[in-house]
Structure 1
Amino acid sequence: MRLETREQAGLTPAVKVLDTQCPFCSVQCKALVTETWAPGASRPVYTVEPKMNAASEGRLCIKGMNAYQHALSGERIMQPLRREGAGFVPISWDEALDMIGKRVERLQGIYGRDAVGVYGGGSLTNESAYLLGKFARVALRTKYIDYNGRFCMSAAASAGNKAFGVDRGLTNPLSDIELAKCIILAGTNIAECQPTLMPYFTRAKENGAYLIVIDPRETGTSKLADLHLKVKPGMDAALANGLQKVLLEEGLLDEKFLRERTNGFDALRAHLTALDLEEIAGLTGVSAADIRKAALAFGQAPTGMVFTARGVEQQTDGYMAVRAFLNLVLMNGKIGKPGSGYGAVTGQGNGQGGREHGQKADQLPGYRLIENPADRAYIADVWDIEPEELPGKGVSAYEMMEKIHAQEIRALIVMGSNPIVSNPNANLVEEGLRKLDFLVVADMFLSETARLADLVLPCTSYIENAGTLTNLEGRVLLREASRAPIGESRHDWRIMGDIAEKLGRGRYFRFETAEDIFEELRVASRGGIADYYGITYDRLRREEGVYWPCPSTGSAGEGRLFADRFAHEDGRAQLIPVNNHELPEPADDAYPLYLTTGRVLTQYLTGVQTRRSHTLAARDFESFVQLHPKAARAYRIADGELVRVTSRRGSIVVRARVNTDIRPDSVFVPMHWGDTQNVNKLTLPELDPTCRMPGFKACAVRIESYISESAVGDY
């Protein structure tokens, strides 16, 4: 007779611990999710606790504490869905893959290989991001691939590459923050977007740091500041010019550093000398006295750091605005040493790694360039194809939407993204997606984009799909799979391999595990700017995380960059004059307010996942528009009422929140909601000429009461 344990007999709770990692922001906090089945219970109880790691120091925010809820949601897609009329019907994987193979071959046969595009996401693991780039170029053999990270980091990435010769989120480890004596946070609301990082800044303050926040709004981050510069939306480059001018006038320059380690300072000096500080104050809405106060604080501090994020970067001059802040760092010699450096605060969970290995239109793995013959030859050899088989450079994410609208792209495969909500000028994007001959979306949920698809493929969640992610400081982390896939969902990388088989290109994609893909990624990145060759799964398990570049298994990885030289061939950084930017759409009588967009604490990106968490959805169940009491009085808006916000491209209906935390000439709407609350129905289609970043952060709008407007004609 077999003896049962008390657990097997149902007398004691059954407990399973899932060792995982938050799927949301770029800190990538570790967590333990405990699943407990009490005797006789119909469903388990989940508890979550943070797990110690170097970046988060054992912290989790509200999003991380509740991430498991979307992974276990009853709204998860359990099997492939084919459109039938206005709805969907479940089909088998064989039917779904046959459908993709036939439709892709037919469309490419009629319109050419570039008739099919691929659209990825910044939350995919490094393995999936790498494979998606390979899938587009080797399985589909199309040049059209880009991803939603274009809207996150492209301005800072381009600026870092041009100024320093390399783009990595932080040039130094997070632990350096508490050594800085002056910190500038420009366009970043860390308290709500990366809240587990806030203790680094509070410790810096305790150590005597002077904190400057640049933001049009009062936020949880600005409340910690010693000085809050409430800049007019879109005027960050001009403000940075003002800060540089004061450094120059006050002689707060590191002359030796400029002479020995930079190029271009003479041109920058001449440019700054010609600027007028009072004119800059008028452009930015920040007084000359406050600009001077901020510049003196930074210039006189022995150590200092500058951080930028989407507030600076999501502009039609985002690249140049970041370059202006990098000038500030370089003029003062505050880089490459403890307590001094620059950080681009990555938004998405794998925004850093996602752009390093081939999801961007112009890139190949290891941050290689697709138009560089040597880079093409190297990657072609790794992939066992001829260099001439690789397609050329495609276009950026929003430009893909324009080509879809023009029907130059006839089919689109979307993986881990929701472009109908995340792109600017969203009405045009929706019109374009509806024109497609074939739209495939791989996702966990019926997102706003998936609802338009011809075929929806169920993907695994973060607790089911193993892989590596690279956090904001360039530290590669391993996320283990802790749970079996739900229903018939498949790993995104497995789906790519399955489609490749149908297209007759399967031999290039026969991987059994995520680690198998990472082993190929290591070789593909070897010798590139983002060199992962020395990183292995075994090392990541032993060491928790490893910084790149890491060229050999004996290398510790570089936590602090540029101690001795920059990554340009001559070892020097590049300074550049930056013009004061004029907004592409200034406010006028018809559209008198400036709209800026951003995030709230409980939601993430387009809300596809966080809005499926009952705890998070209960905290913020609808969007809103924040406006100043002066604006509310002028337009007869009451706090809490529904209002219509309109730009030249569209309108949305949201609820008003009236407070003094925003400038009187500006309004703020978060980016996490779709449909009638999709703020990107309002935003500009104009792109930064260098990095192709849309200008999300400043456009002209008007605001009016929705209730009074709706009541017209009722009586």
Structure 2
Amino acid sequence: MTDLLLKYFRSKQQEIESEKSYQTQCPFCSMQCKMELIEQTKVTRKKYTTVGKDNPTSEGRLCIKGMNAHQHALHSDRIKYPLLKVDGEFVRISWDQALDIIKEQFTKIQAEDGFDALGVYGSASITNEEAYLLGKFARVALKTKYIDYNGRLCMSAAATAASQTFGMDRGLTNALTEVPFSRVIILAGTNIAECQPTIMPYFERAKENGAYIIAIDPRETATTKIADLHLKVRPGKDAALANGLLKVIIEENLIDEEFIQARAEGFEEIREYVSSINLEDIESLTGVPAKQIQTAARIFGSEESGMIFTARGVEQQTDGSAAVRNFLNILISTGKIGKPYSGYGAITGQGNGQGAREHGQKADQLPGYRMIENEEHREYISSVWGIGKEDLPRKGVSAFEMIQKIDEGQIKGMFLMCSNPVVSNPNAHFVKQALKKLKFLVAVDLFESETARLADLILPTSSYLEDEGTMTNLEGRVTLREASKPMPGEVRHDWQIICDIARALGKGNYFSYSKAEDIFNELRIASRGGIADYYGITYERLRKEGGILWPCPDLDHPGTQRMFEATFAHSNGKAKMVTVPNDPVVSKEKTCDEFPLYLTTGRVMSHYLTGVQTRKSASLSARNFESYLEVHPSTAKKYNIQDNVLVKIDSRRGSIVVRSKWSDKIRQDTVFVPFHWADTQNVNRLVAEDLDPACKMPGFKVSAVKVSPVLSEN
């Protein structure tokens, strides 16, 4: 009897005490850290613990966001059923009803206004499979030319600059494992310590090995603390600062003449331009002392190896692509590219910022980084998709320009996937008013974001714990995100939603996939022979190898660790250097008596993008529960701003109210506001609509503003 009772109690204990684990990847930054979520059940209570898993990039590290990512995925506010707006309120409907409504509305809009009356707005947080499929959906199922994605606001300047200079863009030209052995490193406009914390050990090891680190940023940050030299540049003057560095490098003969002659073109024009400027003017423009410019240039030019990394501080400007090209001019002039421990790195922001731009979400691109206006490229992709080349739409416009098309009445309906343009775009109030003009808006999301609230129909999508697929991290390393947690309610994967709508529209024969791997195998074929060639990468290989750096053209190829060792990707094999003037083609806002301060924006460690997910995490939200204005104490006193009080910030577009935060770590002519908050704290309400002419990046990093206390003692 005793043995029977023991067996009985043990079986009951197993029922009430169990443990499950889910292998996955962090849904946030471009490091794409591997991790395991452990779910422990005791009676009716569940406890969750996240642990890092070893992998080639983050080596098992996690940051505070990754450790708490599950809190948003398990949040009670998750959308679990299709929601239709009825009399201003969302009501639950069935999937069949939702698909019938989409079919009716999309068909009606295109019958009345043409195929291009529908737009598709994608995301750099979805998997490669879903990014590929969304591009195919827009062009095959909807037959519209209007598709772009939120990565346009993040990586477009660096991608354009790399493509123009090298002939192709892969986030990092070298694997991260080379960073610790580089002799000198420039970190331009990147706060990796807060934005990509798990990358920091690579740079800390470089420092331990004797590397000289130069940071370029208007603010002192956790990243600039590791620098040997901090160039505290005035916002918007990065291109001019690069010209100052080039002037010293060229005039002091720190160039690699042999490399330039053999592997570059356009250098003489740059030499002529920098000879016409003087260092005192550069000092005046940038606010960086000439002696510091000379020191940085001499050290970078004289060392045998060196790397330059850029991020949003340089790129999110109306001359962002030109500024990046000027930093690439420095690399090429000194011969520090295509060699061990020498190269360029664009620090990708979003989780799949690299992969999502490679396979067809951008207005002018097709899978594999093919170009939609290239007849050979069009013919190849049309054959993969089984359509006529003449049926493939031409190029559309960038993300913000699509919003303008909506405002002008050219786009009447929109399919929005996993993005929040009401908060993320410049002149955010305008964006909101434009979206309200749509006849029909469908949003696919985890939560009722600020943009989803404007939708006529919201479709519930799966989280990173549930949605299997590949992602491409900042190195260009393709990884497989395993995801096995059951989906809640009636949630569906993004790729399933796309296929379901395609079937409803009578295009199901082009979208007959049963799992994510089926889509990836088609993506492999579509990318074959393109710049971003994934053909040699399979799910099986990814599971064995933990990640593969593209290009990987065949199954026996190990992946490409270092780019441009023998040649660049232009037809003549040479890098294209270009002169970048101190004054940009598109004028930036200047300060004046009415708006005397520069405003720049950025991230904090505990939040991600527009904060829709991270603000659902109690642990993350508690760290930064509201936005703030970082302002130098001398500047604050000048404008009667006390520390830790509500302050109004005005630009020519509008105003917001945030709390002040005194800091002597920022320039006195500059204020900083993070961009993770919405509504009256949405800093993008203050940003102008001007775009970089080459890549259509908005100028988030330079706005002219004024500040004033909300409550005054007078």
What's the secondary structure of 1:44's corresponding residue? strand
Deviation at 1:85, TM superposition (A): 2.0
Which residue does 2:706 correspond to in 1?
702
What's the secondary structure of 2:45's corresponding residue? coil
Which residue does 2:310 correspond to in 1?
308
Matches within 5 A, 1:195-206: 195-206=197-208
Aligned 8 A contact 1:478 1:545 in 2: yes
1:637 maps to a residue whose letter is I
2:641 maps to a residue whose letter is I
1:396 to 395, 398, 403: 398
Percent of aligned pairs with the same amino acid = 60
In structure 2, do the counterparts of structure 1 residues 483 and 8 end up closer, same or farther at CA, with 3 Å as the change threshold?
farther
Which residue does 1:559 correspond to in 2?
561
Which residue does 2:39 correspond to in 1?
35
CA distance in structure 1 between the aligned counterparts of 2:348 and 2:15, rounded to whole angstroms: 48
CA distance in structure 2 between the aligned counterparts of 1:418 and 1:539, rounded to whole angstroms: 34
1:240 maps to a residue whose letter is A
1:122-165 deviation digits (Å, cap 9, x = unpaired): 01100000000000000111000000000111111011111111
CA distance in structure 2 between the aligned counterparts of 1:700 and 1:58, rounded to whole angstroms: 42
1:625-673 deviation digits (Å, cap 9, x = unpaired): 1111111011100111001111000111100001111111011010101
Which residue does 2:453 correspond to in 1?
451
1:356 maps to a residue whose letter is E
1:568-601 deviation digits (Å, cap 9, x = unpaired): 1111111111000355210001111000000000
1:680 maps to a residue whose letter is N
1:79 maps to a residue whose letter is Y
1:616 and 2:628 aligned: no
Deviation at 1:32, TM superposition (A): 1.0
CA distance in structure 1 between the aligned counterparts of 2:56 and 2:566, rounded to whole angstroms: 25
Deviation at 1:9, TM superposition (A): 4.7
CA distance in structure 2 between the aligned counterparts of 1:6 and 1:500, rounded to whole angstroms: 51
Aligned 8 A contact 1:7 1:14 in 2: no
1:170-222 deviation digits (Å, cap 9, x = unpaired): 00000110011110000000000000011111110000000100000110000
Q: TM-score, normalised by structure 2?
A: 0.98
Which residue does 2:240 correspond to in 1?
238
Aligned 8 A contact 1:366 1:526 in 2: yes
Which residue does 2:694 correspond to in 1?
690
CA distance in structure 2 between the aligned counterparts of 1:127 and 1:668, rounded to whole angstroms: 37
CA distance in structure 2 between the aligned counterparts of 1:68 and 1:7, rounded to whole angstroms: 29
What's the secondary structure of 2:313's corresponding residue? helix
Which residue does 1:518 correspond to in 2?
520
1:597 and 2:601 aligned: yes
Which residue does 1:422 correspond to in 2?
424
Which residue does 1:659 correspond to in 2?
663
Aligned 8 A contact 1:317 1:581 in 2: no
1:638 and 2:646 aligned: no
CA distance in structure 1 between the aligned counterparts of 2:12 and 2:523, rounded to whole angstroms: 43
2:424 maps to a residue whose letter is S
Which residue does 1:506 correspond to in 2?
508
Which residue does 1:96 correspond to in 2?
98
1:369-423 deviation digits (Å, cap 9, x = unpaired): 0000000000000000000101110000000011111111111111010010111
What's the secondary structure of 1:477's corresponding residue? strand
Deviation at 1:43, TM superposition (A): 2.6
Matches within 5 A, 1:14-413: 14-38=18-42, 40=43, 42-413=44-415
What's the secondary structure of 2:711's corresponding residue? helix
Deviation at 1:482, TM superposition (A): 2.2
1:468-516 deviation digits (Å, cap 9, x = unpaired): 0000001000001120111111000100011011111111111110000
What's the secondary structure of 1:88's corresponding residue? strand
Q: Which runs of 5+ in 1 are unaligned?
A: none
2:409 maps to a residue whose letter is Q
CA distance in structure 2 between the aligned counterparts of 1:366 and 1:11, rounded to whole angstroms: 49
1:469 maps to a residue whose letter is M
What's the secondary structure of 2:622's corresponding residue? helix
2:32 maps to a residue whose letter is Q
Deviation at 1:8, TM superposition (A): 5.4
2:30 maps to a residue whose letter is S
RMSD: 1.3
What's the secondary structure of 1:297's corresponding residue? helix
Aligned 8 A contact 1:231 1:286 in 2: yes
Aligned 8 A contact 1:161 1:167 in 2: yes
CA distance in structure 1 between the aligned counterparts of 2:375 and 2:491, rounded to whole angstroms: 39
1:402 maps to a residue whose letter is Q
What's the secondary structure of 1:377's corresponding residue? helix
Deviation at 1:367, TM superposition (A): 0.2
Matches within 5 A, 1:478-493: 478-493=480-495
1:475 to 459, 477, 481: 477
Deviation at 1:7, TM superposition (A): 5.1
What's the secondary structure of 2:132's corresponding residue? helix
CA distance in structure 1 between the aligned counterparts of 2:16 and 2:679, rounded to whole angstroms: 47
Which residue does 2:465 correspond to in 1?
463
CA distance in structure 2 between the aligned counterparts of 1:453 and 1:175, rounded to whole angstroms: 45
1:652 maps to a residue whose letter is I
In structure 2, do the counterparts of structure 1 residues 701 and 608 end up closer, same or farther at CA, with 3 Å as the change threshold?
same
CA distance in structure 2 between the aligned counterparts of 1:101 and 1:9, rounded to whole angstroms: 51
CA distance in structure 2 between the aligned counterparts of 1:381 and 1:706, rounded to whole angstroms: 61
1:446 maps to a residue whose letter is E
Deviates more, 1:82-91 or 1:97-106: 82-91
What's the secondary structure of 2:368's corresponding residue? coil
Deviates more, 1:507-516 or 1:578-587: 578-587
What's the secondary structure of 2:40's corresponding residue? strand
Aligned 8 A contact 1:7 1:13 in 2: no
2:623 maps to a residue whose letter is R
In structure 2, do the counterparts of structure 1 residues 112 and 223 end up closer, same or farther at CA, with 3 Å as the change threshold?
same
1:96-126 deviation digits (Å, cap 9, x = unpaired): 1100000000011001111110000101100
What's the secondary structure of 1:306's corresponding residue? strand
Aligned residue pair count: 708
CA distance in structure 2 between the aligned counterparts of 1:525 and 1:97, rounded to whole angstroms: 31
Q: TM-score, normalised by structure 1?
A: 0.98
CA distance in structure 2 between the aligned counterparts of 1:147 and 1:486, rounded to whole angstroms: 27
